[in-house]
A and B are shown apart, each in its own frame.
Chain A
Amino acid sequence: MNARPDFLLTVENLTVSFDGFKAVNGLSFYVEPNECRVIIGPNGAGKTTVLDLICGRTRATDGKVEFKGQDLLKMREDQIVHAGVGRKFQTPTVYEDLTVFENLEISYPKGHGVFGALMFRRDDPVKERIHEIASVVFLDDLLDMKAAFLSHGQKQWLEIGMLLIQDPELLMLDEPVAGMSVAERKQTAELLNRIIQDRSVIVIEHDMKFVEDIATRVTVLHQGKVLSEGSMAHVQADPKVIEVYLGH
């Protein structure tokens, strides 16, 4: 099976085994440019592990992950980021001791080497870009606040902002609306709808209404394998999916 060149991301036969337990087992799927792919599945289906494997956090036992013709399995995490893959974690992961501005500044795609970071200057383009992103994620009034004092939802937004500032071609979001209030959830849905326009996105989400809103295609994982794939309507009608979700 050869990867079609028009796919942005090719995942083939991906397998990882933790002391014999195969959390992801022979998984294959393909993401096209500008596609919004939602991964759903019951707890322990291996959803987060798939994202970990793509972004290099976990090393695969076997298989292939190709992004724009580059073999991601052979690259370090930071190289994968520079190739254009951004990753948001399930729990909001921001630098609590730094301000919102500094959080965004660290993610600004310049000065990433040791000496680049030493010599990094906070010039006008940097400041403008940070202000721009901060207003996209509703934090432009809180730039000087320490991230520790943000609400849970605001931390989620900040982390999304930290990804946006890198302008990744493939954005991977792990449960971006989990733990949010209803109002925050609505605001986040709008935010995500806006930012997924010019890029490919892989989202893990449980909120079915939210999924229906944003998904181009849906992949259902079960026990580390693809159970079903297609449009939302297609997977919802798939008897195997109904069996897994409702069968026991």
Chain B
Amino acid sequence: MFADYTMGELGAIFAMQGFAGLILFSVFVLMALGLAIIFGQMGVINMAHGEFMILGAYVTYITSNLFADYLPSLFSIYFFIAMILAFFVTAALGMLVEWSLIRHLYKRPLDTLLATWGLSLILQQIYRSVFGAREVGVTIPDWMMGSLPLTDLIEVPINGIFVMVLAISISVAVYFMMYRSSWGKQVRAVTQNRVMAGAVGINTERTDRLTFGIGCGVAGVAGSAFTMIGSTGPTAGQLYIVDTFLVVVFGGAASLLGTIASAFSISQAQSIMEFFLSGSMAKVLTLLTVVGILMLRPQGLFALKLRK
């Protein structure tokens, strides 16, 4: 199969394929970060996570339309404002959901799963009623279009690079928030021992709500970023949910580093296999491998051995 290519072309193919894998990796990281906070830290199964991402995407879509209509001169930077808006809108919705739904179910994780699935159906229907059943795309500002020629043969798309940079910055931000700020310390205190955290004066309810909100907000930013590389439809969120959960679980639910490592291995495996097999078989094989490894090592890649 390689006989038709020269060495240079082969190298270029692998480089491009590797780059496609890196974009997929960034997408996985963005999807998984919010869930790593909500599921990994709080232990809440949020099946509506995909719908929160889609909300971020729709917010971006609306913002881009508003800028095109009213502030065309600033159109080239609308995306940054859209991202901030996406964060706050989804975070607000997340906090509302936590208050009305999730907080009643902290002791019943399997029931949370069903309730948030119900929520995801409702959100999907709302998106369909408001934005229509068809997928919508945003207009990408000119500077993000096109690609960057690295060599004669290798070109990388600028929007891909942008998504990668975004994934890295958000990971760093989440890391500092969780492990370097006093708020992160509170979150971890609450999740590890709710009663004790309450006893030392942490407002556990407020911490829960904020944590859930921020997790959803990160999902919103992820959704916002996805508009740069694809279109958005009401049911698109459902496509992400299995991948997202597998990435988080595979990484070892409570470990941020694990989440990133697992996003990297799953995305690379998938994009390399995609080169040799059909898309669907590559997907099947990747998922099967992940499920198989999880059966052998249910605690995920990175997990502490704890004293029971």
Contact = CB atoms under 8 A, between A and B. Distances in A.
Interface string B271-308: 00000000000000000000000000000000011111
A49 B308 CA distance: 8
B68 to A, nearest CB: 55
B305 A19 contact: yes
A67 B233 CA distance: 64
A52 B308 CA distance: 9
A60 B282 CA distance: 40
A123 to B, nearest CB: 37
Interface residues of B, number: 5
Contacts of A49: 307
Main secondary structure of the interface of B (DSSP, over half): loop
Contacts of B305: 18-19
Nearest to B304: A19
Contacts of B308: 52, 57-58
A150 interface: no
Contacts of B307: 18, 21, 23, 49, 58
A21 B307 CA distance: 10
Contacts of B304: 19
Interface string A176-197: 0000000000000000000000
B5 to A, nearest CB: 48
Contacts of A23: 307
Interface in A195-222: none
Contacts of A58: 307-308
A19 B304 CA distance: 7
Main secondary structure of the interface of A (DSSP, over half): mixed
**Most chain B CB within a 10 A radius of its CB, from A18, A21, A23:** A18
A196 to B, nearest CB: 27
A19 B306 CA distance: 8
Nearest to B307: A18
Contacts of A57: 308
Nearest to B308: A58
A21 B308 CA distance: 13
B193 to A, nearest CB: 16
A181 to B, nearest CB: 24
Interface in B65-120: none
A46 to B, nearest CB: 10
Contacts of A18: 305-307
A18 B307 CA distance: 6
**Most chain A CB within a 10 A radius of its CB, from B304, B306, B307, B308:** B307
A132 to B, nearest CB: 34
Interface in B220-278: none
Nearest to A61: B305
A173 to B, nearest CB: 18
Interface in A45-61: 49, 52, 57-58
A171 B306 CA distance: 26
B234 to A, nearest CB: 41
A19 B305 CA distance: 6
B134 to A, nearest CB: 50
A54 B168 CA distance: 47
A52 B304 CA distance: 19
Nearest to A59: B305
Contacts of B306: 18
A52 B306 CA distance: 13
A121 B306 CA distance: 41
A18 B308 CA distance: 10
B185 to A, nearest CB: 21
A80 to B, nearest CB: 16
A154 B144 CA distance: 71
Nearest to A16: B307
Nearest to B306: A18
Complex A-B, nearest 7 residue pairs according to Cβ-Cβ distance, in ascending order: A18-B307, A19-B305, A18-B305, A19-B304, A23-B307, A58-B308, A18-B306
Interface of A: 18-19, 21, 23, 49, 52, 57-58
Interface of B: 304-308
6 contacts: A19-B304, A19-B305, A23-B307, A49-B307, A52-B308, A58-B308
Given A23-B307, A57-B308, A58-B307, 9 more contacts: A18-B305, A18-B306, A18-B307, A19-B304, A19-B305, A21-B307, A49-B307, A52-B308, A58-B308
